A and B are shown apart, each in its own frame.
Chain A
Amino acid sequence: MDLNVLIVDDSAAIRKILVRVLSQTDLPIKNLHEANDGSEALKILEHNDVSLVLSDINMPNVDGIELLTRIKAQPKYKNLAVVMITTEGSQAKVMEAVQLGAKGYVRKPFTAEQIKEKVLSCLKSAEV
């Protein structure tokens, strides 16, 4: 099954890194979409059949927690797996994201292997 992945981060550098890392995996990725913040991400989700979202937490406009909340509030996104990737390391934020339905959490800095492992485990558990 082909995957459509959405990367949400206000840092162009992190978006580029994640695109490179995911492109080098064996995952059957069909499309890699990029958004600068949660607001852009919601527009992309509206018009594309995305199966996995990798999102930062601290972003301008609509942040990662708000994005996750809006995704989980809509039944049409019930199978959409969301992984948070952020420098925000506080336990409260992690718990908040998990309670809201995030499939996983990767803290920056990260290695390419950590991203691959997290994506694979999330896809497996979500059966995307």
Chain B
Amino acid sequence: MDDDFLVKSVISAAKDVFGMMLGLEATAGETYMEENVPTEKERVVALIGLAGTWVGTGMISCSPDLACKISSLLLMTDCDGVSEDVLDAMAEMANMIYGNVKTELEEQVGGLGLSIPTVIFGRNFATRSIGKQSWTVVPLNVKSETGTELMELKICLTQNKDYQQSARPHMRPYSVLREDM
């Protein structure tokens, strides 16, 4: 898979989601690679798995303040801190962004499945996707009335060499299974 295509897909999906669902303008900074570095600041992180001919994880990560702002705009409610609503909103943001990335990638690599998102709120933690050591990071500058804040979009994908040889249909993505029926 072409790295440029992957990055462009992530940026395009994120801009669409921020623009259409939140009415916020988002611009992408320069993409970089990152090892599994623990973060000392408080972060709200949503992770979502991709599986098929390629396997890996997509992630969105931002400050509690930005997560609160996103939740407030998405759910059209007030936000006083990181609550269940904020975690739900971040999960749905990850689902929409990487769901659209999945659709784009499927044109190149065939059927992919998407997991249910997992959300983490905390500090001093590192994330690792087994099989690949580094994340491709797209910094996204999100503009709002109160200024510009940063969301990091991270993805690590690796080719699933066992996919073609798999004799276990129950291990294949659901979307692929349906197409076989």
Contact = CB atoms under 8 A, between A and B. Distances in A.
A13 B92 contact: yes
Contact of A89 (B17, B74, B100): B100
A58 interface: yes
Contacts of B99: 87-89, 108
A90 B92 contact: no
Interface string B63-80: 000000000001111000
B134 interface: no
Given A87-B96, A90-B103, A13 B75 contact: yes
A14 interface: yes
Tell me the dominant secondary structure on chain B's binding face.
Answer: helix
A110 B89 CA distance: 15
Interface of A is mostly: loop
B155 interface: no
B72 to A, nearest CB: 12
Interface residues of A, number: 21
A13 B16 contact: no
A60 B92 CA distance: 15
B92 A14 contact: yes
A92 interface: yes
Contacts, number: 62
A87 B95 contact: yes
B76 A17 contact: yes
A14 B21 CA distance: 11
B88 A111 contact: no
B114 interface: yes
A128 interface: no
A108 B13 CA distance: 10
B114 A108 contact: no
A10 interface: yes
A20 interface: yes
Nearest to A58: B114
A20 B76 contact: yes
Contacts of B92: 11, 13-14
Contacts of B89: 13
23 contacts: A11-B91, A11-B92, A12-B88, A13-B74, A13-B75, A13-B89, A16-B88, A17-B74, A20-B76, A87-B99, A87-B100, A87-B103, A88-B99, A89-B103, A90-B103, A90-B106, A93-B175, A108-B95, A108-B99, A109-B20, A109-B21, A110-B20, A111-B20
